[in-house]
Structure 1
């Protein structure tokens, strides 16, 4: 009997946004946590001093529009990088 191996390779995408209204490092942590909870997000890096937000995600699962919404839900204003 032949054994058939199925393998799925996940291709991740990366996008960047800017959030310029951080008041403190805790603000950046809040946004990082919110984005980490979005379906399909694999990794998030938020840089408090520059406002740069880098999001790595599975493009088969994640909806990039949800990234801005997650940031707005925390009271911050995302902008294109």
Structure 2
């Protein structure tokens, strides 16, 4: 299993920028917090989670940090 970040956009869509970054497992479009995300939205590697913490879903982050230490190959060395 591999985690990635997926963008959540506001009412104005992608042109207004990312409102919140969520964590998903593999290619899923349902975030770890349960929010359904647009499958065509921006994605980035979960290792970038600390890059812009003000735009990250707190619930996804807490679940990701609890789960990821137990998954081999999840974090770059």
Task: Tell me if TM exceeds 0.5.
Answer: no
TM (normalized to structure 1)? 0.28
TM (normalized to structure 2)? 0.29
Which has more radius of gyration?
1
